[in-house]
Structure 1
Amino acid sequence: MTGTGALGSGLRPRWLPAGYRCRPVTTADAAAVHRLVVACERALDGRALTGADRISAELTLPGLRPREDTLLVCDRAGGPAGYGWVRGHRARVHVHPAHQGRGLGSGLLTWAETRARDLGGDRLAQTVSDSDGAGTALLRAGGYSRLVTEWLLEIALPREPAMPGPPAGITVRPFRPGDEPAAYQLTEDAFDEWQPRRKSYAEWARHTVERATFLPAASPVALADGQMVGAVLSLDVPDHDEGYVERVAVRRDHRGRGIARTLLWEAFRTFHRRGRPACTLWTHSGAGALPLYQRLGMTVRHSSTVYCRALVTG
């Protein structure tokens, strides 16, 4: 196929079927890309899973070079038919349901692998819904193997949750301006146990506290002797009628004391008071937190699998 640099100069990749064109994605395309992603999710799972601000965050991450790291496939009318995004060892590939079965998925996957190699990557990972049989088959045929399972968990909030008291010596309060550095240190330290690389502060903030939907009131933190030892960071996504917890972390030396449970119930209570009938969060098998959430009464709504393959550079 044509290399990523050639795409930037306007050459047509050989895998692109007649009647389609492609170009890099711009921030002005965020809404159109979100509609494409949601169309895929609804076709597979009957509901949208991705908020619009997540797409906006992806397209403005520090270090992303949209001209080389993104690709939008358009149909004859100019509507989005496919989307590709690569950053580091991660990729996202989506093909609109109306345009599937025409080779766009395999072409975008090849483009993503080529771009990852250009960036010096030795592997590439992509998340696929477990209900996406065609996407799973495409990755497996391309040499991808299962890395981890991801679960979207939910809890109904028909009434205000009964709040457990905080553990002895722990103070709980909502997130405040100025908490950002401590929350970054805490959550990245916790996620270092399973994530492949540590995020920079700028990247972490773009995913969390700098998102327009970040909700400090539903983001309680736990303090011990004035130091942050636990945090729940939540979003109030406008195109969803549910609360959403983006991050949960407790410092290693304070685990097993019920801090995470206390913080989560505090977030759930806030969302209930804001009229949200339920709250959701994602976790995965590498984090080992599924039993904690199940003990709180959360159940699995949706599952996905992260597939990964080594990239041959020679």
Structure 2
Amino acid sequence: MELPAGLTTRPLTLADARAVYEVMAAQELEDVGEVVIEEADIVADWQRPSTDLASSSLGVLDGETLVAYAEITHADRADAAVHPAYRRRGIGTALSGWVRDTARDRGATIVGSPVPQGSPGDRLLASLGYGERWRSWVLRLPEGRDIEPQPLADGYAVRTAESDADRRAAFEVKEDAFLEWSEREREPYDDWTATSLRRPGFEPWNLRVAVGPDGEVAGMCFVVLAEGTGYVDQLAVRRDRRGLGLARALLVDAFALAREHGATASELSTDTRTGALGLYERVGMEVSSVWIHRAIAL
């Protein structure tokens, strides 16, 4: 890698989570006007059994200070950030080259990263030949705005996932639904628990399920509380139970619970692959930022 004089690189370790968060937070604040990442997000991802930071990450340091990083997070996805104070020095270009080489060596045929639309990262990747693979939106339910409750069909109830069987069923519902539009291998259950049930700060109310008259889990919602915002990280309904209003019922439930636990606003994200943007806008949510997933063939 060609980096400015005085900068060094090394693989990341779990002890770097806070430093990576600070770089990412500074970049998000500069590019979208708010910080959407949490340190818990990084720790949760890094504690997945499938994560090998030694071979899949690279930090850029100025002395002992981390100023940029890149990581292959999944087979065809990478995340990267450069502290705004260190931009326009070729660091992003160098990290992009490392990402492509590393992903190619791991057998990937394409690799991409999400970047805020129109940001320096977006412009850089476009200039390097990365095209738009899909587009995503962060939507916010403004403070004080309510979503009209969704009556549940007879025999259905929304409750906390109470048992290991509930949690595993919620995972299966999520994976089946997400794999309808996501091009990836099935996620291992232990990887999912690392980012949900074992995520720092997890509380039982974060994972809710919609249960049918037969006692089976028909839908799930995973919501986290972050800096006064209830963030719906996962929302899914079984294919054979759709059309009953379960998704909306789970969403209303999640927002209400988040408010009970101190949230003043609620957020979620969706992308062009799901076709769900209109649903969230119809219930009163507003787009707060637009992200482009840019990718390049290897």
TM-score range (shorter-chain normalised) is: over 0.9
Residue 255 (1) aligns with residue 262 (2): no
In 2: Cα distance, 1:128 partner to 1:156 partner: 24
Counterpart of 1:63 in structure 2 is 50
Match of 2:222 among 230, 233, 236: 233
Counterpart of 1:283 in structure 2 is 270
In 2: Cα distance, 1:258 partner to 1:214 partner: 27
Counterpart of 1:146 in structure 2 is 132
Match of 2:8 among 21, 25, 28: 21
TM-score normalized by structure 2? 0.94
Query: How much has 1:157 moved relative to structure 2?
Result: 4.3
Q: Is the contact made by 1:157 and 1:268 (CA closer than 8 Å) also made in structure 2?
A: no
Query: How much has 1:165 moved relative to structure 2?
Result: 2.6
In 1: Cα distance, 2:158 partner to 2:274 partner: 24
Match of 1:300 among 279, 287, 290: 287
Query: How much has 1:160 moved relative to structure 2?
Result: 6.8
Residue 74 (1) aligns with residue 61 (2): yes
Query: Deviation string for 1:100-149 (max 9, x for gaps)?
Result: 011100001100111101111111011011141x2222212222111111
Residue 173 (1) aligns with residue 162 (2): no
Query: How much has 1:216 moved relative to structure 2?
Result: 2.8
User: Counterpart of 2:219 in structure 1: which amino acid?
Assistant: G
In 2: Cα distance, 1:60 partner to 1:274 partner: 26
Which blocks of at least 5 consecutive residues in structure 1 are unaligned? 1-12
The residue correspondences of 1:97-108 to structure 2 (distance < 5 A) are 97-108=84-95
Q: Is the contact made by 1:160 and 1:273 (CA closer than 8 Å) also made in structure 2?
A: no
Q: Is the contact made by 1:157 and 1:272 (CA closer than 8 Å) also made in structure 2?
A: no
Match of 1:213 among 201, 216, 220: 201
Which range moves more in the overlay, 85-94 or 56-65? 56-65
Note the aligned Cα RMSD (angstroms). Answer: 1.5
In 2: Cα distance, 1:227 partner to 1:136 partner: 43
In 2: Cα distance, 1:290 partner to 1:215 partner: 28
Residue 270 (1) aligns with residue 270 (2): no
In 1: Cα distance, 2:130 partner to 2:109 partner: 13
Aligned partner of residue 59 in structure 2, secondary structure: strand
Which range moves more in the overlay, 45-54 or 102-111? 45-54
TM-score normalized by structure 1? 0.89
Aligned partner of residue 17 in structure 1, secondary structure: coil
Query: How much has 1:218 moved relative to structure 2?
Result: 4.3
Which range moves more in the overlay, 187-196 or 269-278? 269-278
Query: How much has 1:241 moved relative to structure 2?
Result: 1.3
Aligned partner of residue 236 in structure 1, secondary structure: strand
User: Counterpart of 1:282 in structure 2: which amino acid?
Assistant: S
In 2: Cα distance, 1:21 partner to 1:131 partner: 29
In 1: Cα distance, 2:33 partner to 2:78 partner: 23
Residue 137 (1) aligns with residue 123 (2): yes
In 2: Cα distance, 1:55 partner to 1:16 partner: 25
Counterpart of 1:118 in structure 2 is 105
Counterpart of 1:189 in structure 2 is 176
Q: Percent sequence identity over matched residues?
A: 35
- 1:151–1:215 CA distance, 2 compared to 1 (3 A): farther
In 1: Cα distance, 2:134 partner to 2:175 partner: 19
Which range moves more in the overlay, 158-167 or 64-73? 158-167
Q: Is the contact made by 2:152 and 2:244 (CA closer than 8 Å) also made in structure 1?
A: no
Query: How much has 1:304 moved relative to structure 2?
Result: 0.2
- 1:259–1:115 CA distance, 2 compared to 1 (3 A): same
Name the structure, 1 or 2, with higher relative contact order (CA <8 Å, separation 6+): 2
Aligned partner of residue 12 in structure 2, secondary structure: coil
Q: Is the contact made by 1:151 and 1:300 (CA closer than 8 Å) also made in structure 2?
A: yes
In 2: Cα distance, 1:215 partner to 1:303 partner: 30
Which blocks of at least 5 consecutive residues in structure 2 are unaligned? none
The residue correspondences of 1:88-103 to structure 2 (distance < 5 A) are 88-103=75-90
Equivalenced residues, count: 294
In 2: Cα distance, 1:144 partner to 1:86 partner: 16
